[in-house]
Structure 1
Amino acid sequence: MTNSPETKATDRSSQSKMLRGSAWMTAGSIFSRILGAVYVIPWPIWFGANFLQANTLFAKGYQIYSVFLVISTAGIPGALSKQIARYNEMNEYGIGQRLFRKSLILMLAMGVLSALALFALAPVLAAGDPRMVPVFRSLSWPLLIIPLLSIMRGFFQGYAEMAPSAISQFIEQAARVLYMTVTAFMIMQVFKGSYVDAVTQATFAAFIGAAAGLLLLIFYYLKQRGRISELVANSNNELEVSTTDLLKGIVRQSIPFIVIDASVNLVYIIDQYTFNPMMHDFVVASDHQLYNLYALFAANANKLISITVSLAAAMAVTAIPLMSAAHVRGNQKELQHQIGSTLQLFNLVMIPAAFGMAAVAGPLYTLFYAHDTLGISVLQFSSYISIMLGLFTVLGAVLQGLYQNRLALFYLFIGFIVKIVAQYPAIYFFRVYGPLVSTGLAFATSSVLMIAALHRYYHFALRKTIRRLIGVLGFSLVMYLVTAGAVKGLYLVFNPYSRLQSVLVLMISVGLGVAVYAALVLKSRLADYVIGSNLDRFRRKLRIK
């Protein structure tokens, strides 16, 4: 089968949409995650000796809340973007609009039910810790409106418009962080109140952020309503789909999204309810000490690696509608190209980001939490595990975009079995690193099975992807050595225990690491091969031959 000019043009268009969409979603995710982590910086000062306890309450609340959030949206935003992209490809914009309106009503009902459920179940979910009850109940409020926010993001993503979603993410986080920072300062520093009250307001901040994000998306929708109405008016209107069939289709497509989207949080919940009991079998420690150990990986490290994992999440959100549209066109060559490009782009971005975070773990952890040798070591290990989390996120999205939902769920189920079986021995051998080891094994197993299935069914260029992966790994290792060496060298001049001086160490070492990696991928032309366009103008600006 030869590639016609039309096929090549479609491939270039898909590649361009993938890069543009990923750029928007990556920017939105990165900035929002950084904002979402910024609140931690003053917490050690304001909360004092109760900092790790406060951070643990926050993390435990959010992990349960995240599962309720995925259930409340029922995976419908992802399924909606997939279905809208499908109908738009058929020039049936009217069906997509009708589906969007019905989904809004469904989401409103789901939000109310989920909020009531979390509020009522708070004492049970607290598992005997009365401090968790107000935290869980404060998180029931955002469940009322976040489903509406998510469905509007899904609508724009179905049109391959990632800017509204990205900007709303940033606005949502900015409003949330502003509220939680102000309330934490007022409660802990001005009124000398309870750290539980401060955490409760910090979790309620999700409602404030969601409201801000929703208002922005409503503004975008009203602004584009004329253009959307024109597309609807010029639709083919040849496809007859009943409202019942529309909702059945969206619900059927949404079920895998529920499980896949909640998978990382479900794994974290396994840690939440098993770490302390299992550690009690091996070590003599109080619950307070184990809470502090749990906070090192579940709260502190996870908060920071979520920044790098968000890179993968951004690619996943972009990949789903593009894969779905390519699947509708039935172009096998385009599908092969799209799968290979998605994996190669993930490798090019995610692997150096994870290696880089490991290299600067010392000053990064010190900046956010204060210097702690064990905490820094846990963050370094978590940085490498984040590659597996990100890879699973992208592969799950690719399979769903290709309507391989059962395969995605089956391989996830195998990963969960690995996690459960490995949890106890991993904690026995590796103690605080144990949950990270079992999580890495679980998602690595699922990811290998997913890659094998994609190659088996779609025959994408696996060898080429592996060759370029080796190149990325080599360049990332060089970047890691240079960056880690720079950190050690700077520590001869700067105080590793100073948060302010850690900022300077981070700026210099990260800048050097980025420059080294960029020079390597540009000099070798690896970036050109993966991105699919000529980057000579960047080489000229950087004077790289």
Structure 2
Amino acid sequence: MSSKQVNGLMKGAAILSATTLIVKILSAVYRIPFQNMVGDVGFYVFQQVYPIYGLAVTLALSGLPIFISRVVAEQSSSEAQIGTIKRLFRILLMGSIIIFGTLEIGAPGMANAMGDERLAPIIRITSWLFLLVPFLATSRGYYQGRLEMRPTANSQLVEQVVRVSLILIGAYVATSQNWSVYKMGSVVMLSAPLAGLAAALLLWKKFWPVMLNRTSPEIGIPTRQLLKRLLTEGIVLTLIAAMLVLFQLVDSFTIIRALQSHGLNKEAAKSVKGIYDRAQPLVQLGMVFSVALSTALLPGLVSAIKGKRMVEFQRLSHLFQKLSFALSTTITVVMIAVLPEMNRFLFSDSKLNVTISFYLLNIWLASMILMRNSLLQSMNKNRITTISLIVGITVKLLLNSVAVGYFGILGASLVTNLGLVVVLFLMSLDLVAKFFNFSASGIRFLGKLLVSNLGMLVMIFLVKMVAHHLCGDVSFSRLQALGVLVLGVGLGSVTFGLVIYKSRLLTLKELMSIPYVSNWIKKRRN
């Protein structure tokens, strides 16, 4: 590969990474004004069906395109790529029709299993997105396999902007017209297939000639072999990408009935579930940096292991662990420390602070799982991740109703944490001996990180104490809560930064290994 091709590849990967982060931020942020417009019960209606949408998006955006791109890249000629992609499209089209039909027919049963039969029409509307999965996944995977990242990046951005715009417009109209929350849910969920259609039209404007290209039916990977790989490699990648969505899906099917067994009536259970669901966009926001870190460092890990540069791989893996641990720990600590004020500012009240605080531990747990998955993925060990996820989700499924029935909604947070702990533990078994550093330097690192976080926490709580003293016993207004957030997080971050700078939490050599940070350091030194 020429230097010009390498430069083009890196530029395309950077564009795709940046777009993915923008999409994730949009996906988390829009739910805050949406909840403010539709209220807790309206948010509950949306979030109950959201995991079904999330699975379709995972198939169309990350899981299947990554698998397809690998298959396309393996082919020795353009004709073989086209022949293979056509077969994959037919397989996926058949699969998507089966899923669509199952959801359309089974929507009443699924809604009843969720404890709310009025969700059936919303499930049916969401199911239409699955019909677009073959069009989105094959075109994205084809271009990524040919190292063309712009089509995927552009389609991601168009899809998310269209969807978020339609959701917020729909919520505004529903609120102004006093529609029921279920009618509102049907209208805003219509945004999913419409946004998917917009993205598909954008992609297929260029991709259509590829599908019309005449190729010999024998060229490329045979259908049976493709189906086998799809059901193994493709499912593995999809499970990894859909981890938190699958945990949310278990909540959708278990929480409402479990809350009723705990003593709440149906309407109260809906409201409590809606408040509990506030935690999900907060977790998404908290994980943005972890996703960015994994995206930035994974290519270096893969390159090192493919080139059999094991010393470099060991160095990058240790750096990856340190950065992931430090970032996720600090973000989790900060968000839990300021949760009462954040809850009030974003959602107008401070309900279920304890439950949401426990749920925010997902930031640390999921970030650690993401880091370990990147290490395993770089070594082509996806089966360990799959088994770990299946076991963790099974734990969630078996214990969720019991825990909620006994502890109330707090039980759902606790069991989600337990399921993720199981996943993390099982994924770590194969990595501990190879990559985890229990040396004196590792212990010093943990000590420095602990002191840094304690200093930050002290500053945050000092700001909160002063604010409470000035305001008396009256609850903060949203504006006052914002002031406490800005001052607390701002001064706490400065304190944290000073401590890690003075303690040299990361060495100069480690900082120089981080993409973008190394460029900034070089410019400063020049």
Q: SS of 1:284's equivalent?
A: coil
- Which of 102, 118, 121 is the equivalent residue of 1:131? 118
Partner of 2:188: 202
Structure 2 contact 279–359 (Cα < 8 Å) conserved: yes
Size of the aligned set, in residue pairs, is 500
CA spacing shift, 1:120–1:522, aligned 2, 3 Å = farther
Q: SS of 1:371's equivalent?
A: coil
**TM-fit CA distance, 1:179:** 1.0
**TM-fit CA distance, 1:132:** 0.4
**TM-fit CA distance, 1:60:** 0.8
1:366 aligns with 2:344: yes
CA spacing shift, 1:405–1:42, aligned 2, 3 Å = closer
C-alpha separation in 2, matches of 1:62 and 1:219: 29
Q: SS of 1:75's equivalent?
A: helix
Partner of 1:59: 47
1:346 aligns with 2:346: no
1:499 aligns with 2:482: no
C-alpha separation in 1, matches of 2:143 and 2:496: 34
CA spacing shift, 1:472–1:173, aligned 2, 3 Å = farther
C-alpha separation in 2, matches of 1:461 and 1:200: 51
1:448 aligns with 2:425: yes
C-alpha separation in 2, matches of 1:68 and 1:536: 38
- Which of 229, 253, 270 is the equivalent residue of 2:233? 253
C-alpha separation in 1, matches of 2:484 and 2:490: 10
C-alpha separation in 1, matches of 2:162 and 2:220: 40
The TM-score with structure 2 as length reference comes to 0.78
Query: Where do 1:395-544 residues align within 5 Å?
Result: 395-420=372-397, 422-423=399-400, 426-427=403-404, 430-456=407-433, 458-459=434-435, 461=437, 463=439, 468-492=445-469, 497-527=476-506, 528=508, 530-533=510-513
Deviations 1:94-132 (A, max 9, x none): 866765565455445444443333222211110162320
Q: SS of 1:145's equivalent?
A: helix
CA spacing shift, 1:139–1:371, aligned 2, 3 Å = same
Deviations 1:498-519 (A, max 9, x none): 3344444433333334433344
1:306 aligns with 2:284: yes
C-alpha separation in 1, matches of 2:80 and 2:442: 38
C-alpha separation in 2, matches of 1:101 and 1:318: 32
Work out the percentage of aligned pairs sharing the same amino acid: 23
What is the root-mean-square deviation in Å for CA atoms of aligned residues?
Answer: 4.2
Counterpart of 1:122 in structure 2: which amino acid? A
**TM-fit CA distance, 1:448:** 2.4
CA spacing shift, 1:393–1:421, aligned 2, 3 Å = same
Counterpart of 2:496 in structure 1: which amino acid? Y
Structure 1 contact 496–502 (Cα < 8 Å) conserved: no
Structure 2 contact 44–274 (Cα < 8 Å) conserved: yes
Partner of 2:27: 36
C-alpha separation in 1, matches of 2:152 and 2:324: 20
**TM-fit CA distance, 1:293:** 2.0
Structure 1 contact 366–499 (Cα < 8 Å) conserved: yes
1:193 aligns with 2:197: no
Deviations 1:255-310 (A, max 9, x none): 212333333233223333333444444x432122222222222x211122122234
Structure 1 contact 70–261 (Cα < 8 Å) conserved: yes
Counterpart of 1:180 in structure 2: which amino acid? I
C-alpha separation in 2, matches of 1:487 and 1:219: 55
C-alpha separation in 2, matches of 1:97 and 1:480: 56
C-alpha separation in 1, matches of 2:299 and 2:105: 36
Partner of 2:358: 381
C-alpha separation in 1, matches of 2:372 and 2:84: 26
CA spacing shift, 1:442–1:516, aligned 2, 3 Å = same
Query: Where do 1:82-93 residues align within 5 Å?
Result: 82=70, 87=74
CA spacing shift, 1:356–1:529, aligned 2, 3 Å = farther
Structure 1 range deviating more: 322-331 or 305-314? 322-331
CA spacing shift, 1:69–1:163, aligned 2, 3 Å = closer
Structure 1 contact 322–401 (Cα < 8 Å) conserved: no
C-alpha separation in 1, matches of 2:468 and 2:165: 33
Counterpart of 2:107 in structure 1: which amino acid? A
C-alpha separation in 2, matches of 1:22 and 1:399: 22
Partner of 1:6: none
C-alpha separation in 2, matches of 1:170 and 1:367: 28
C-alpha separation in 2, matches of 1:486 and 1:541: 36
CA spacing shift, 1:351–1:406, aligned 2, 3 Å = same
C-alpha separation in 2, matches of 1:323 and 1:479: 32
Structure 1 contact 61–136 (Cα < 8 Å) conserved: yes
Counterpart of 2:485 in structure 1: which amino acid? L
1:76 aligns with 2:64: yes
CA spacing shift, 1:72–1:520, aligned 2, 3 Å = same
Partner of 2:168: 181
Counterpart of 1:455 in structure 2: which amino acid? V
Q: SS of 1:403's equivalent?
A: coil
Q: Is there any run of 5+ residues in structure 1 with no aligned partner, and where?
A: 1-12, 226-239
Q: SS of 2:360's equivalent?
A: helix
